[in-house]
């Protein structure tokens, strides 16, 4: 029998410094070579921020973290870059022609969503008294056929889809860009993007207008999307090169410090450093977003890049707590990006017309937070419902497959036919039968009687590539 010595418990060994580093390292993202959920999380945040800003009610707590379209970077800019980066990343190693085929398919889906929302919003305004988020000048069109033609050619956008128009144009530019990158001509693609951007800065935004209903200047903002495309495609090579940079952690820490410093100065109205404020906001510290949308000068572009890097560092170093806290909401939104954006376009007029919804900004923070929270919950619920519907459509029966493949196009055709059938095509702009148009201005029924303040676009312009597109391994 073995004797047991009784005595005081041994003193616990204090945790070593290496154990502390292990715990901190465990917060970092574990890259397994498959779908990068950091992109989904950041894209979901951008979509949530856009949705919050577009609804209004700026006294809500959600607006404290949305940027309110007045910061040095907007959710739109983050979304454009992430979308281009994701397309570039998942395009590595695919068979010849597969990337182009996928991009054409994505562009077609986005085109149907854009024209469908425009025609649907026009029909809602025509036949109901509901208040809409944004209308259009009826003097620009000559009847229902002209409206359909302009919507089909992306020169007419209603209800916030002018944001989608910009993304369609970026996707169309991506198709030849990817073809060239696959053939080893990345430098040439970068030179073309840089040259077009330089020309937009020298010639001015007016001379570079393409004539489409895009809310954001496409050429001036091309470095965000197409630059992201190049970085995403060469992600592995760039990561290897960055690992060889000495003191890279110090550089990352310095970028965080600079970003925080710029944010504090901006919050204080640049009164402590007016010259720097004029530089990073292109002389418009009151509304820096407007300048970036129309021109995106070099220094504001550089600042946007700085905040993109800091956002990535936060998502990478604090992945575990961020996923636990925000993942259940942001990941589904980011993984179904196109649907999320369209859902928020529908949710805005739906909430604007709920009895009791505050139609001005003079509302308490508690009430505003409750309304915005319910609005975000509705969008998230729609995203989850979509997953169930897609699962049902993918059951394999021929009818369901046909509906999944051709349903969106049929829906757009039905909307166009409904627009023609419910109006007088012989009328001229300002006198269409049933439209109630006078003096060339579109009216949202009795919206003016309800004193609805027009919700203008907060400058957030986003494009998307749907979340499923990111399901791929890194094929470096």
Q: Are 303 and 262 in contact (CB under 8 A)?
A: yes
Separation of first and last alpha carbons in the chain: 63
Q: Where do the domains of the chain lie?
A: 33-243+285-466
What's the angle, vertex CA 36, arms to CA 34 and CA 41, rounded to 5?
Answer: 150
What pLDDT sits at residue 138? 54
Buried b (16+ CB within 10 A) or exposed e, 170-197: bbebbeebbbebbeeebeebbebbeebb
Residue 364 · residue 83 · CB < 8 Å: no
- How far is Cα 459 from Cα 54, in angstroms, rounded to an integer? 9
Bigger pLDDT: 59 vs 431: 59
CB 60 within 8 Å of CB 372: yes
Buried b (16+ CB within 10 A) or exposed e, 82-95: bbbbbbbbbbbebe
Nearest CA-CA partner of 463 in 161, 67, 230: 161
Is there a contact between 227 and 194 (Cβ–Cβ < 8 Å)?
Answer: no
Could you tell me which residues are beta bridge partners of residue 441?
438
Q: What is the pLDDT of residue 24?
A: 53
Q: Please, what is the Cα angle at 470 between 305 and 92, to 5 degrees? A: 80
Query: For the segment 435-462, what is each residue's pLDDT rounded down to a tens digit?
Result: 444 433 433 333 333 333 333 333 333 3
Q: Quick check: helix, strand or coil at residue 53?
A: helix
Q: Inform me whether the pLDDT recorded for 432 exceeds 60.
A: no
- pLDDT bucket at 212, cuts 50 / 70 / 90: confident
pLDDT digits (tens, 9 = 90+) for 244-284: 999 999 999 999 999 999 999 999 999 999 999 999 998 88
Contacts with 175 (C-beta within 8 Å, 6 or more apart), sequence order: 100, 103, 104, 107
pLDDT tens, residue by residue, 113-123: 999 999 998 88
The residue count of the chain comes to 476
The stretch 339-357 carries a mean pLDDT of: 93
What is the model's pLDDT at position 450?
35
User: What pLDDT sits at residue 461?
Assistant: 37
Exposed e or buried b per residue across 382-392, where buried means at least 16 C-beta atoms within 10 angstroms of its C-beta:
bbeeeeeeeee
* pLDDT > 70 fraction of the chain, expressed in percent and rounded: 82
- Please say whether the beta carbons of 452 and 348 come within 8 A: no
């Amino acid at each position: 029998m073995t004797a047991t010595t009784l005595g005081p418990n041994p003193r616990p060994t204090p945790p070593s410094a290496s154990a502390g580093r292990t715990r901190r390292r465990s917060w970092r993202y574990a890259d397994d070579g498959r779908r990068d959920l950091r992109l989904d999380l950041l894209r979901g945040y951008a979509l949530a921020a856009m949705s919050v800003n577009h609804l209004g009610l700026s006294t809500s707590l959600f607006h404290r973290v949305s940027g309110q379209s007045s910061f040095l970077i907007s959710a739109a800019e983050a979304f454009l870059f992430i979308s281009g980066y994701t397309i570039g990343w998942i395009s590595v190693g695919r068979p010849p022609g597969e990337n182009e085929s996928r991009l054409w398919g994505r562009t077609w889906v986005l085109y149907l969503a854009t024209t469908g929302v425009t025609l649907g919003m026009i029909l809602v305004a025509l036949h109901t008294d509901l208040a809409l988020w944004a209308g259009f000048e009826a003097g620009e069109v000559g009847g229902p056929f002209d409206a359909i033609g302009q919507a089909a050619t992306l020169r007419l956008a209603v209800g916030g889809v002018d944001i989608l128009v910009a993304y369609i144009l970026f996707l169309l530019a991506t198709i030849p860009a990817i073809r060239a990158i696959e053939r080893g001509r990345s430098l040439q693609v970068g030179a073309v993007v840089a040259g077009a951007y330089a020309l937009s800065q020298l010639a001015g935004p007016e001379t570079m207008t393409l004539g489409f209903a895009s809310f954001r200047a496409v050429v001036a903002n091309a470095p965000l999307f197409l630059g992201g495309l190049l970085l995403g495609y060469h992600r592995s090579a760039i990561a290897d090169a960055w690992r060889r940079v000495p003191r890279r952690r110090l550089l990352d820490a310095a970028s965080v410090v600079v970003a925080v410093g710029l944010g504090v100065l901006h919050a204080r109205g640049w009164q402590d450093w007016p010259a720097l404020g004029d530089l990073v906001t292109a002389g418009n510290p009151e509304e820096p977003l407007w300048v970036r949308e129309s021109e995106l000068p070099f220094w504001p572009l550089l600042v946007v890049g700085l905040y993109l890097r800091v956002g990535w560092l936060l998502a990478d170093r604090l992945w575990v707590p961020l996923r636990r806290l925000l993942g259940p909401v942001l990941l589904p939104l980011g993984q179904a990006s196109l649907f999320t954006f369209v859902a928020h376009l529908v949710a805005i007029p739906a909430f604007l017309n709920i009895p009791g919804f505050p139609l001005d900004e003079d509302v308490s923070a508690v009430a505003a937070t409750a309304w915005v929270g319910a609005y975000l919950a509705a969008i998230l619920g729609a995203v989850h419902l979509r997953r169930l519907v897609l699962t049902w459509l993918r059951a394999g029966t021929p009818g369901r497959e046909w509906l999944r493949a051709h349903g969106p196009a049929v829906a757009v055709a039905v909307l166009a036919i409904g627009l023609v059938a419910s109006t007088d095509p012989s009328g001229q702009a300002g006198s269409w039968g049933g439209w109630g148009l006078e003096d060339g201005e579109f009216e949202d029924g009795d919206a003016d009687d309800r004193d609805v303040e027009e919700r203008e676009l907060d400058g957030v312009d986003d494009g998307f590539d749907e979340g499923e597109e990111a399901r791929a391994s890194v094929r470096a």
